[in-house]
């Protein structure tokens, strides 16, 4: 009997090892196929949930200022998903992480949920797995379960190995993003040189044609020939103007160069408020994560146009701007206490609103405007991240 029990124990041990290797292999393969950080984190959380039979998980990462931001989430309970502010700010696991004191994962009670009674999905505890690469702290992986009996000690240890795989993927994605940024800067420099060369050649050709026309007129030559030279100069001027406009459009990300979106927005708001003598409150939730350049540029330009409209039309005294960066989407909310308007009676030539709406559509987002005469205006932009990856 003892030999038979030992054989069964060895079989179970082998099955467990095979299962662990299968889980690690599945997650490693998925992460190896992704160089985009947002997609890599989403893939990891999806696989962790499926392979460990855990419904809820989320990841906090450290930004360049060593501040935590919510980088990804899977099936957050309503009490957290519907109130993004509850996922911002500090919590117990962050304190433990910063002080190198993360306890055994099954012993952590989630400080974001412990005082809530509605919408928690019966979640109270979570496992917190520190993420680090080459001794550098990166963030925390949290996985939650209603019953920790569902997770064995071996599963919890396996989650630490998953955390190591995640850390490697995070570092690789960040290196890829940095190389992409360097490539973008080089491309903008190339475009700048192209603009310079194109305009220089174009202006030279225009000048030569005008000088030819002038010489013809001075020598008493044919007015027709002089007219042809002037018309050629005019054609070259129009052609070069269009070329300059096209090139400038390719350089439109310049206001954000070297700065994250929240810092670029703050600089824009501070400069605008100082000129207009208007009080502006700027609030950011979840900033710090790397975003696709097209989203950053689009939201920056939308804010710029919204502030321009407020300055021209609203006669406002106070403006509130809120940027909320969540795992699935980004929201930009702009409110003012100005004179308001009827959104159904906007003139057809109101290009500010038209431009904003077009930018939002290009980002697969939604623009909602709430206003009425004498009641101020609220503008909210929601942009899904998945559609822009």
Domains located in the chain, CATH noted: 2-179 (3.30.450.40), 181-250 (1.20.5), 255-388 (3.30.565.10)
Is there a contact between 264 and 332 (Cβ–Cβ < 8 Å)?
Answer: no
Q: Which of 125-134, 145-154, 186-195 has the highest mean pLDDT?
A: 125-134
3-class state of residue 209 by DSSP: helix
Return all residues near 242 (Cβ < 8 A) that are at least 6 apart: none
- List phi, psi (to 5°) of 157: -65, -35
CA angle 368, 369, 373 (to 5 degrees): 165
Is there a contact between 250 and 30 (Cβ–Cβ < 8 Å)?
Answer: no
Per-residue pLDDT reduced to its tens digit, 67-123: 898 888 888 888 888 888 888 888 888 888 888 887 665 557 788 888 887 888 888
302 pLDDT higher than 70: yes
Per-residue pLDDT reduced to its tens digit, 31-71: 776 667 777 888 888 888 777 777 888 999 988 788 898 88
């Amino acid at each position: 009997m003892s030999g038979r029990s030992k054989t069964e124990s060895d079989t179970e041990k082998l099955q467990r090892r095979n299962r662990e290797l299968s889980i690690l292999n599945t997650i490693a393969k998925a992460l190896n196929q992704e160089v985009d950080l947002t997609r890599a984190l989403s893939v990891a959380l999806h696989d962790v949930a499926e392979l460990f039979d855990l419904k809820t998980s989320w990841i906090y990462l450290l930004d360049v200022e060593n501040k935590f931001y919510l980088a990804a989430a899977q099936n957050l309970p309503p009490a957290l998903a519907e109130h993004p502010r509850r996922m911002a700010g500090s919590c117990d696991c962050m304190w433990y992480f910063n002080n190198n004191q993360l306890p055994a994962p099954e012993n952590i009670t989630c400080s974001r949920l412990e005082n809530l009674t509605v919408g928690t999905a019966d979640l109270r505890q979570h496992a917190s797995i520190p993420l680090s690469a080459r001794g550098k702290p990166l963030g925390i992986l949290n996985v939650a379960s209603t019953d920790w009996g569902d997770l064995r000690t071996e599963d919890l240890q396996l989650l630490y190995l998953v955390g190591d795989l995640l850390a490697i993927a995070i570092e690789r994605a960040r290196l890829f993003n940095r190389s992409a940024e360097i490539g973008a800067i080089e491309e903008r420099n190339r475009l700048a040189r192209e603009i310079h060369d194109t305009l220089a050649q174009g202006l030279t050709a225009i000048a030569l044609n005008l000088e030819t026309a002038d010489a013809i007129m001075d020598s008493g030559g044919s007015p027709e020939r002089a007219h042809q030279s002037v018309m050629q100069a005019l054609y070259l001027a129009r052609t070069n103007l269009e070329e300059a406009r096209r090139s400038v459009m390719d350089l439109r990300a310049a206001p954000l160069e070297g700065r994250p979106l929240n810092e670029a927005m703050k600089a824009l708001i501070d400069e605008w408020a100082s000129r207009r003598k208007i009080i502006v409150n700027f609030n950011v939730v979840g900033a710090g994560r790397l975003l696709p350049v097209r989203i950053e540029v689009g939201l920056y330009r939308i804010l710029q146009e919204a502030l321009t409209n407020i300055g021209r039309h609203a006669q406002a005294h106070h403006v509130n701007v809120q940027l909320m960066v969540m795992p699935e989407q980004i929201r930009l909310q702009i409110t003012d206490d100005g004179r308001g308007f009827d959104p159904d009676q906007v003139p057809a030539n109101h290009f500010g609103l038209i431009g904003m709406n077009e930018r939002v559509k290009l980002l697969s987002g939604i623009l909602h405007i709430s206003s009425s005469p004498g009641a101020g205006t609220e503008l909210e932009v929601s942009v899904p991240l998945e559609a822009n990856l």
